[in-house]
Every structure is written in C-alpha cells, then in structure tokens.
Amino acid sequence: MASYRCAVVIPTKNAIRVLPKVMDKVLAQRAPWPYEIIAIDSGSSDGTTKYLRGLTGVRLIEIAPRDFGHGKTRNLGVQLADAEFVAFLTHDAEPVDENWLVNLVSSAEQDPAIAGVFGRHIAYETASPFTKNDLDKHFAGFLAHPLVVSRDLNPVRYATDVGWRQMLHYYSDNNSLLRRSVWEHLPYPDVEFAEDQIWARTVIEAGYRKAYAPNAVVYHSHDYGIVEQLRRAFDESRNFTKYFGYKLSPGPGRALSTAGKFVVRAFREQLDERYGRVTLAHRVERAGQRVALVAGHCLGANHQRLPLAVSSRLSLDQKLFEA
C-alpha cells in the first residue's frame, strides 16, 4: 500500500527566477492526507539545485541533461513516488491557491476508471491582454462537454471526427495528475514532444476516462516573441503530424489567407476590460505572433518538403535531428 495519497513531481532546469513562488505554493497546500514533493533537476547552473536542497519536505533528484526526456523524466518521477496519485507541474506553473492539489485528487476520486486529470491554466498578471483572453477561452471550451470523458461517450464521433478526438486527448502536464495503477501498465512514451497528449490518447483508447478539474488552477502563460513563436509552432505542427496523423495547417495558399485574417482581427478585436487596456503595441505584437503561428504550423505540416538543414534550424528541439 502506498505511503502517500499523492506525490507532486516537478522537473526543473535553471528555474531560480520563477521556482521559489511555485514551491512556496506547493508546500502550502492544504490536504487531509500527507503528500510528498519530488523535484527532478537536469543540470541547472543558476542556483536551482542549491535552493531545492535547502527546502524541507522536498526530495531532489539530479540527472544529467542528456538523460532528460519529457516522458522519460516523468516516468522516473512516478517510479520514485510512493503514492496512489502523482501530480505534475512544470517549474513555471504556480498553483493559484492552497486547494489546487486536493481539487486534482478529488476529481480523480470520482471514478476508479479515471486515469488522468488536467487542471485549468490562467495567465500571469503580467501577460498581455490577448494571452489572458486566449487561455480563458481555451479552457472555457472544455465546460461545453462533460467534465469526465471517455471514448464511449460517442464512439461514432470518436471514429469520424478529428476535432472530437483532439478534445478527448487534450492533456497538459503543466498541471495534471495520473493514477499510478494505470501508469504501471501504461507509462508515458519516451518521445520528444506531446508525451502528455500521447499518453492521454493511449488511456482513452484503452477504455479509461479522463477528467477536467476547472477548480485546480495554476498560473502559466508565455508571451512569445515572433521567432520563438514560429519555432514552437513548427515543432508542434511537425510532431502532431508525426504522432497523431493530422495537420494543424492547410497548404500555403490557405495559410496565407488565414494569416491575413488574423492580422485584421488583431487590430479590430475588442477584449473584455478585465484583461486590461489593449495598446497599439499589444496589437502589433499580436499580429506578429499570429502570423508566426500560422507560418510555423504550415512549415511544420509540410516539413518533409524542407531541406533537413532548414528544418533543423527552425526547430527548438534539436533532439529531433540528432539521428
């Protein structure tokens, strides 16, 4: 029998700028049962490991940078955890309140067939109004469906509707929890991208259920620059084609048309006032980001037509090209 109801596993790397606030929130969780915290660091050089060693109640595991893998490292965390459930955060995902962990576990406890739970993300206060709006809309979309879903919810639609399958396998290890007993025979895949969504698809197709916990909330957001947005979109699109068999972008002609529409929308869209004042700088930044997103998705979906040297320079993840 497991010693803990839940463990929290956090991969870290050069995170000293953001990690202390995250750890303060994790250590302050209010739960009616004990929980353990495991940080797995892959070669930090900025004081992250020194900081973690000084924390009471945190187990630090250090691995070589070459041994890190999104799925591989999380599998190590689950293997080391002595718990019935294992929650994951990234080192820049800060729980909003002291009930985050209990809310994740409570969601999983609804049904023993629930293999995994993902929680909601909201943007940091410093994020752009457009980023805040995007995240709120994205997670509000899950409220249009049952909070617990499975393949059996609509088998015909699962077989025929790509968008429905995407919704069912959406999962984010920035804020998630899995049932260890399921992981023992369905561990994370050792892949360079989307280990969380590939795992979610695997458990859904194995007949398990997935839950959304809208009350298990973390701050997690990024305002990417144009080049980084392009490169991230390239990797995302390339790997969704590779692992899921569908393209995130049509051909170049339609992508160009879509980019134009996004630019127009960036300068016309009116956001709720709760997101703050939208400046001209915000709109210019938004237009550039959206064009970069469409371009990256188009290039990634058609990466096989690009010279390998070009793909390698576009990708943020050089592990894709080490072979």
> Domain segments of the chain: what residues?
4-219, 226-318
Q: Which residues of the chain have pLDDT under 70?
A: 318-323
The pLDDT of residue 303 is 85
Q: Residue 211: enclosing H or E segment and its boundaries?
A: strand 209-219
Stated pTM of the model: 0.92
The pLDDT of residue 113 is 97
Answer yes or no: are the C-beta atoms of 243 and 147 closer than 8 Å: no
The pLDDT of residue 139 is 97
The pLDDT of residue 323 is 40
Indicate the length of the chain as a whole number. Answer: 323
Q: Is 38 helix (H, G, I), strand (E, B) or coil?
A: strand
Answer yes or no: are the C-beta atoms of 161 and 233 closer than 8 Å: no
CATH fold, domain 4-219, is Spore Coat Polysaccharide Biosynthesis Protein SpsA; Chain A (3.90.550)
Count Cβ atoms within 10 A of the Cβ of residue 154 and give its class: 0-12 exposed, 13-18 middle, 19 or more buried. middle
